[in-house]
Amino acid sequence: MAIRCKFRLTEIHTNCFNSEQKTFIFYPCYDPSIEEDRRFYNATPTGRLDITVNNPVVLNEWKLGSFYYFDVNEVKNG
């Protein structure tokens, strides 16, 4: 079963030991005037997702304050 989560990037921290790594912190933040956001809020009203990344493509693409979907799918034979 696939699950879609909607999160907002609220914090970015640079690793003090390795400046090529950053930790991105996401929270579910929803606008009650948006129908899609109300549906997401009913399923995931709170949470936190922390991801530490050293992939240069990601480091330059993710923007503070932007919203992102995270799709969760079970890995079979993983």
Domain-wise residue ranges, the chain: 3-71
CB-based contacts of 35: which residues, under 8 Å, 6+ apart?
none
**Alpha-carbon gap, residue 70 to 25, rounded angstroms:** 13
- Give pLDDT, residue 29: 79
pLDDT in tens, 14-66: 988 888 899 999 998 777 888 887 777 777 678 899 999 999 888 889 999 99
pTM for this structure? 0.79
Looking at residue 30, its pLDDT comes to 78
Strand partners, 71: 4
Which among 35, 58, 57, 47 has a CA at the least distance from the CA of 10? 47
Residue 78, pLDDT > 70, answer no
